[in-house]
C-alpha cells in the first residue's frame, strides 16, 4: 500500500509563539519550529501499516525552505521519501488554498491512502482533511482513534466527545488521526543517519500547474483582521464557605459551562 502522510512544520507549542504585527501571520522566525505533534501519530500509523503489509510511506509537506528540517526529522522515523512543495507565493495561504496545493501535489504521486493529523497546533482549523478529500473525490475518515485496514476497506473509530463512531470507506481515502491512535516511536540512530540520504522531491507552483495568484495571503478566502494577546491571568475568586460554599461552587461551574 502506498501511503502519503501530510506533515506540517509549526512553531513549537511549548515555546512563546507570536503573530506578525502587520499581517497577523505566524512569525516563524521568532519560534523554534517542529513537526506538528499530531502528524507524528499519522507517521507512526503509516509505518505500522507498512510494517504489517508492506508498501511505501511518503511525506508531503507544503512550507518554506526551513521546513526541510521537519522533513528530515519525519524521515528519520522511517518513511521512504518526501515531497516538499515550496514556493514564496504560498506564504499566508488559508486552508482552502492549502488544500488545493496539497491536492495538486498528490496528483503527481501514486497513492492509496492519505494520512494526516486531525489538526495543526498553530492554526487549529481542522478542515484540511475534509477539504482535501473533497478535492480528491475520495471519502474523508476524520478524527480517528483507531484505523483498521482490511483488504480494500478502511475502518476508523472516530473519536467524539461522547464516545466513538465506526466509519468505513472502501478504496482510496483521507484519514486524519488524533493522538489517541498510537504512541509514536523515537527515531532510531540508524533512521536519523539514513534520513539525509532519502529522496526529497522539491516542487514549485509551476511544477503543479497552479497560478501564483490563486494562493497566498493576498488571495486568501479568509483574513485575520485583528489579533490580541490573551489577557494576563486574573486573580481567582475566593469562595469562603459560610454554609453555602457548595452552592456557590456549582453556580460558578454552571456559569463557566463546566457542567
Partner 1 sequence: MPDVTPQHPLALFGTDELLTDTERDIRDTVRRFADDRLRPHLAEWYEAGELPARELARELGDLGVLGMHLSGYGCAGTNAVSYGLACAELEAADSGLRSLVSVQGSLAMYAIHAYGSAEQKARWLPEMAAGRAIGCFGLTEPDFGSNPAGMRSTARRDGTDWILRGTKMWITNGSIADVAVVWARAEDGVRGFLVPAGTPGFTTREISRKLSLRASVTAELVLDDVRLPAEAMLPGARGLRGPLGCLDEARFGIVFGATGAARDCLETTLEYARTRLAFDRPIGGFQLTQAKLADMTLELGKAVLLAVHLGRRKDAGTLRPEQVSLGKLNNVREALAIARECRTILAASGITLEYPPLRHANNLESVLTYEGTSEVHALVIGQALTGLPAFR
Residues that bind partner 1 (CB under 8 A): 69, 72-73, 76, 185-190, 192-193, 195-196
- Toward partner 1, which CB reaches closer, 146 or 185? 185
Q: 193 by DSSP, 3-state: which?
A: helix
Radius of gyration of the chain (CA): 21
Identify which of residues 75 and 156 has a Cβ nearer to partner 1 in the complex.
Answer: 75
CA distance 67 to 137: 28
CB of 30 or CB of 148, closer to partner 1? 30
Instruction: Tell me the C-alpha distance between 93 and 122, whole Å.
Output: 13
Q: How far is the CB of 121 from partner 1 (least distance, A)?
A: 17
Give the residue with the Cβ less far from partner 1, 161 or 183: 183
> Where in the chain does DSSP place strands (E)?
2-6, 9-11, 33-35, 56-62, 81-85, 113-117, 140-150, 153-159, 164-170, 173-177, 200-203
Report the SS3 class of residue 202: strand
To partner 1, the closest distance from the beta carbon of 196 in angstroms equals: 7
Cα–Cα distance for residue pair 221/219, rounded to 1 Å: 7
User: Which one, 180 or 248, has the nearer CB to partner 1?
Assistant: 180
Q: How far is the CB of 76 from partner 1 (least distance, A)?
A: 6
Which residues are CB-neighbours of 232 under 8 A, at least 6 positions away? none
Amino acid at each position: 500500500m502506498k501511503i502519503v502522510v501530510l506533515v506540517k512544520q509549526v512553531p513549537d507549542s511549548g515555546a512563546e509563539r507570536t503573530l506578525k504585527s502587520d499581517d497577523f501571520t505566524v512569525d516563524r522566525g521568532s519560534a523554534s519550529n517542529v513537526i506538528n505533534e499530531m502528524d507524528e501519530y499519522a507517521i507512526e500509523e503509516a509505518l505500522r501499516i507498512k510494517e504489517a503489509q508492506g508498501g511505501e510511506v511518503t511525506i508531503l509537506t507544503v512550507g518554506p525552505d526551513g521546513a526541510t528540517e521537519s522533513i528530515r526529522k519525519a524521515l528519520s522515523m522511517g518513511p521512504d521519501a518526501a515531497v516538499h512543495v515550496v514556493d514564496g507565493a504560498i506564504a499566508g495561504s488559508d486552508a482552502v488554498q492549502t488544500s488545493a496545493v496539497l491536492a495538486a501535489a498528490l496528483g503527481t504521486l501514486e497513492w492509496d491512502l492519505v494520512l494526516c493529523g486531525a489538526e495543526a497546533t498553530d492554526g487549529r482549523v481542522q478542515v484540511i482533511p475534509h477539504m482535501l478529500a473533497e478535492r480528491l473525490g475520495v471519502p474523508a475518515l476524520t478524527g480517528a482513534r483507531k484505523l483498521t485496514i482490511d483488504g480494500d476497506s478502511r475502518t476508523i473509530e472516530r473519536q467524539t466527545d461522547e464516545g466513538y463512531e465506526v466509519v468505513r470507506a472502501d478504496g482510496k481515502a483521507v484519514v486524519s488521526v488524533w493522538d489517541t491512535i498510537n504512541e509514536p516511536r523515537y527515531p532510531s540512530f540508524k533512521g536519523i543517519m539514513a534520513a539525509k540520504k532519502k529522496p526529497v522531491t522539491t516542487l514549485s507552483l509551476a511544477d503543479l500547474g497552479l497560478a501564483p495568484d490563486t494562493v497566498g495571503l493576498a488571495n486568501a478566502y479568509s483574513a485575520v483582521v485583528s489579533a490580541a494577546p490573551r489577557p494576563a491571568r486574573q486573580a481567582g475568586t475566593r469562595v469562603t464557605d459560610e454554609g453555602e460554599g457548595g452552592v456557590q461552587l456549582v453556580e460558578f461551574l454552571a456559569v463557566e459551562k463546566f457542567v
